[in-house]
A and B are shown apart, each in its own frame.
Chain A
């Protein structure tokens, strides 16, 4: 992992079991100061459990959590300088907005005048000043979430934890709140750890993302790196779409990594990840796949010949999903496989003249292929 300038939170080999289920399995990761860090993974992969262990609401079975180089694993939740926005928001229903936000400060026995001032500031940060005397049941879902946000931020935590902060909002509000959260983070400068199962959300908001699956970390990287250099087929598939091709054999010759395929013959791999070289050097049996992002499949007129930098392939035109600027096009190969390709507006001009089922050709640059080990359980 690239060294962070200053590591704020250092999680070491954290494991948590619930009777038979291993919810979090030997997770290690570091979060830098001032980052937006996302925990991304399918539902049930242990994101919330990991977050709750950071908050102190769940005790780890083994491993350690360091905040500023000192262990907080044994410190109870109410003594940790970390606050959480719960998935259900957990706004106190019997208190006004103002009292909700003041709750933590009162527990800390902050002077009343100071409380008033800080609550006011927190409420203005989330644009709720005019709702201060309302009860939660008089607020919309989005407003309730802001109360939860203000209530946590007013405590000036070192880290703010957000469990699926956008999942309960409707689509339009979600986009708005996504931007607002990022802006808010920039203003207050608090480190955010966001749990989400939505890769778009994670990609749009986070500086770095940890992809989790079945309680384990698959990869920790920036959104760009996750997209362009996924470590295995699980990450590649979870972060965006990917077309996978079978690989018969991978050989290394004079430091060149060559993948033999049925579809395209031998392909030389340009970007070899550390993980890949590690696996190539080990004796472990690995199932390899060639991965290709849909936008790397270039739709071409029928007569274009492949050059030595490219390979080509043809198939039947399948469904077209219009998505604004670009459209997603399905291409059915003879062996019943189907590929996803991206068509630009220009491509669409031509494609519109074709019928579903007509043959289309695609050109692929050889260097765009990714060599991916198949993850053991996906």
Chain B
């Protein structure tokens, strides 16, 4: 695999398109954004690049900090839910029969191939005041009520169901984020589960540990690499989500990406938008650095 070392020219030739692509569509625009982040609006359309740090300073004003904080905790909660649910789903797939596995994986991937907008709108249909979730809850409520009526205890609860509000609440947004990000969590965990020596789990049982101890002391530590990957590739895109908070949050549960979008559109403050974007990017870099430190440690273990 490493004979490219011996023919650097061939290597350069074949990597040129990729590098070119990266440069034109990634690094170059990023440089522009980076430059904007040090600029000032002089008129509605003009930006002067003055090298000011003012845009970065503005991140630390209370309104933005509140939003950043909310973005952070909502992403954290979504990620934790995704990892927990994802772990269970991955375990189910990993322990399924070899014939069922590809189909289950396909089921997990299916939403990927559906437009994000369509998926989010369909969530509106589920989470709305008259949505499916409320309908289901209402049905449960009313069934319980009529059951209680049979035994004469109907006084315990009101006869009619008051629909719960999900849209425009953090719950609704987190629900949407989890729904969209779940596949990202499942796949790395699944891959990690497939790699481990299953007899370690049996050894744990054999040594007298119960299922719970085996899960937390053997299975989870042995799949830690997959869990960290899953955490990062779930958390980072969640930080930058704007469609989900926009549609499901009804503008009341904005996340930082909504503010960034507004800077480039309504507010027409590109320099500030750029500074905010890059700020998110810095957070991502820090997370990736942590991950690669872990990876290096891991690979030292293997060698």
A contact set with B: CB distance below 8 Å: 55-57, 76-79, 83-84, 86-88, 90-94, 103-104, 107-108, 135, 137, 148, 151-152, 155
**Contact (Cβ within 8 A) B213 A90:** no
Inter-chain contact B222/A155, CB cutoff 8 Å = no
If A79-B208, A104-B207 touch, whether A88 touches B197 (CB-CB below 8 Å) is: yes
Q: Is B202's CB under 8 angstroms from A155's CB?
A: no
Do A135 and B207 have beta carbons less than 8 Å apart? no
Closest beta carbon of chain A to B242's beta carbon, Å: 39
* A137–B203 CB distance below 8 A: no
Q: Do A94 and B197 touch across chains, with their CB atoms under 8 A apart? A: no
A83 to B203 Cα, complex, angstroms: 9
Q: How far is the CA of A77 from the CA of B207 in the complex (A)?
A: 8
Within 8 A of A (CB), among B192-220: 197, 199-200, 202-210, 213, 217-218
Q: Please tell me if the beta carbons of A78 and B209 are within 8 angstroms of each other in the complex.
A: yes
CA gap between A84 and B204 in the complex, in Å = 10
Extra 13 A-B pairs, beta carbons < 8 Å, given A57-B205, A93-B222, A148-B203: A77-B202, A78-B210, A83-B206, A84-B203, A91-B200, A92-B200, A94-B221, A94-B224, A103-B209, A104-B207, A107-B207, A151-B207, A155-B208
Ordered by A's residue number, 17 sampled pairs between the chains whose C-beta atoms are within 8 Å are A55-B206, A57-B205, A78-B205, A86-B203, A87-B199, A90-B197, A90-B202, A91-B200, A92-B218, A92-B222, A93-B222, A93-B301, A94-B224, A104-B209, A107-B209, A107-B213, A151-B207
User: In the complex, what residues of A have CB within 8 A of residue B301's CB?
Assistant: 93, 135, 137
B150 within 8 A of A: no
B302 within 8 A of A: yes
Residues 219 to 275 of chain B near chain A (Cβ within 8 Å): 221-222, 224
**In chain A, what residue has the closest Cβ to B223?**
A94
| Contact partner, B208, options A87, A108, A135, A148, Cβ 8 Å | A108
Chain A minimum-CB-distance residue to B300: A137
A91 to B222, CA, bound (A): 11
Interface-centre pick from B205, B207, B213 (highest chain A CB count, 10 A): B207
Residues of A contacting B205 in the complex (Cβ-Cβ under 8 angstroms): 56-57, 76-78
- CB-CB under 8 A from B217, the residues of chain A are 103
Evaluate contact between A83 and B224: CB separation under 8 angstroms: no
CB distance from A30 to the nearest CB of B (A): 23
Which residues 38-91 of B sit at the A interface, judged by CB distance below 8 A? none
A155 neighbours in B (Cβ, 8 Å): 207-208
- Whether the Cβ atoms of B221 and A107 lie closer than 8 Å is no
Q: Across the interface, which residues of A come within 8 angstroms of B302, CB to CB?
A: 137
A77 near B224 with CB under 8 A, answer no
Per the bound structure, the CA–CA distance linking A152 and B206 in Å amounts to: 9
